[in-house]
Amino acid sequence: MIEQVAAAFDRKDYKTAIQLLKQLQKQSPDNPWVKFYIGRAQEVSGKLESAEAAYRKLLQETTNPKVAIQAREGLQRLENIAKERRQQAISQATADPANAGIGFLILEPVPSEARQTAAQAFARIMKLDPYTARLQLPSRGWRLYRTGAMAELQIYGQNLRSADIPVFWAALAAIQTIRVFQVHHFQSVSPQVTIICQDETNQLGSLTFDWSEVKSRVEGMLPIFEDVVDLGVFNKLKRKEQTQDYVHVLDLHLPKRNCILRVCDRTYQFHQGVIFNARQDGQTPPNQITTRIQWNQWLGFLHHQLPSVPIWSDFMPFAETALDHLDLIKDLEAHIDLLRKAPTNWDAAFQLYSGLVFEYARTGRS
């Protein structure tokens, strides 16, 4: 009867083939050819995921070389179908002006109880082995997984979401439209807030807003690198780059104004405008008031004013996945004014992280 099934598939008489298979499945459920043609029936019925699972399981179980060859050919057909569909979807997406240019595909954390299922789906969609796929899925924080054409990333993102893998994508152009003001100091904090700041062109001015306009708060620490001399092999002196300190950066997002207010502990003018440091209580001598104390006093005040505003602080794990990608992105202005001996992608990584949070909230994902 297997020969009859094969002949029915050859002449594309799928109705007859499926009827015969139902009988064979009852009579010989463990026959590898029966299992193969069940997968083939799922393939021609458009149940591609079920067909792929059937072929892969058959390859693990069978010792029949002819069946194995047919199963591999089936997997190749499925891969070709998926590629063709993806290319068609990308072509359609490319026609939309909103999908032009460069974009970012970001993986969101996957709960431990869902990692195995998610890894299997991720491996299938991205053509990875299951072990590698599992390693790519983050357990905390975001992972910048891919940078490339926005239209292509959107299609991959939609496929991943369909498989219940948390993911989102954003265009570089959208992030570049967000204005960034570097805050020098707070001039007043009640009833409205007035800050002295500089814009993207380094023009100094003031900006007034209500606390209720702040919808997100993004925090991160940027490493400061210095060249140090160390003893190497055979006590030979060698120079190497080492992290000497960290700079605290905090962004306040005002989505209705499409802007970010950026505060940096190294550049904030604590001695100007509203004073937030410990001199107010009269207990700390002025010569013992450090930048860290002043920064923590300011953070405490900010938390009091914005107790329910979401805080995004998983910058470090994100940056570690983004640094290499940023070598290929030359149009992302960091808007961070630090005295460095050489440019670093860490500054651009914080700008990207904050911009992605801004877009994430704007699209209703948060």
Distance, CA of 98 to CA of 94 (rounded, Å):
8
Rounded to an integer, the average pLDDT of 335-339 is: 90
Are residues 86 and 104 part of one domain? no
The tally of domains found in the chain comes to 3
pLDDT given at position 8: 84
What does DSSP say about strands 259-264 and 179-188: parallel, antiparallel, or unpaired? parallel
Are residues 353 and 295 part of one domain? yes
Distance, CA of 247 to CA of 101 (rounded, Å):
32
Are residues 220 and 186 part of one domain? yes
With bands split at pLDDT 50, 70 and 90, how would you rate the model's confidence at 146? very high
Q: What is the pTM of this model?
A: 0.78
Question: Token digits for 284?
Answer: 């700390």
Neighbours of 205 (CB within 10 A): 10
% of the chain residues with pLDDT over 90: 52
Q: How far is CA 106 from CA 101, 102, 154, 161, 167, in A?
A: 17, 13, 11, 12, 6
Helix (H, G, I), strand (E, B) or coil at 41: helix
Helices (H), the chain: 2-10, 14-27, 32-44, 48-61, 65-94, 115-126, 130-136, 150-162, 172-176, 291-305, 315-322, 345-362
With bands split at pLDDT 50, 70 and 90, how would you rate the model's confidence at 317? very high
Distance, CA of 282 to CA of 123 (rounded, Å):
61
285: cis peptide before it, omega within 30°?
A: no
Nearest to residue 210, comparing CAs of 226, 188, 239? 188
Are residues 160 and 48 part of one domain? no
| Mean pLDDT of the residues in the chain | 88
pLDDT given at position 185: 96
More confident residue, 58 or 142: 142
What does the pLDDT look like over 113-139, one tens digit per residue? 999 999 999 998 998 998 999 999 999
**CATH number of the domain that 29 lies in?**
1.25.40.10
**CATH number of the domain that 123 lies in?**
3.30.1390.10
* Ramachandran quadrant class, 123 (left: phi over 0; alpha: psi -120 to 50; beta: rest): alpha
What does the pLDDT look like over 1-53, one tens digit per residue? 788 878 888 888 888 888 888 887 888 878 888 888 888 888 888 888 888 88
> Within a 13 Å sphere around the CA of 293, how many CA atoms are in the beta-carbon half?
15
Are residues 166 and 45 part of one domain? no
With bands split at pLDDT 50, 70 and 90, how would you rate the model's confidence at 364? confident
Q: For the sheet containing 143-149, what is the strand order?
A: 143-149, 102-107, 167-171
Helix (H, G, I), strand (E, B) or coil at 47: coil
DSSP state of 212: G
Nearest to residue 176, comparing CAs of 358, 366, 360? 358
Question: Token digits for 352?
Answer: 């990207």
Out of 136-140, 241-245, 358-362, pick the least confident. Answer: 241-245
What does the pLDDT look like over 81-91, one tens digit per residue? 877 877 776 67
Question: Token digits for 35?
Answer: 């299992």
Rounded to an integer, the average pLDDT of 90-99 is: 67
pLDDT given at position 24: 78
pLDDT given at position 298: 93
pLDDT given at position 107: 97
Rounded to an integer, the average pLDDT of 314-342 is: 91
Last residue of a domain, one of 173, 201, 232: 173
With bands split at pLDDT 50, 70 and 90, how would you rate the model's confidence at 98? low
Are residues 186 and 160 part of one domain? no
Are residues 153 and 23 part of one domain? no
Last residue of a domain, one of 29, 60, 91: 91
With bands split at pLDDT 50, 70 and 90, how would you rate the model's confidence at 290? confident
Last residue of a domain, one of 173, 198, 215: 173
pLDDT given at position 277: 63
| Domain membership of residue 37 as a residue range | 2-91
Chain Cα centroid distance, residue 258: 21
More confident residue, 348 or 343: 348
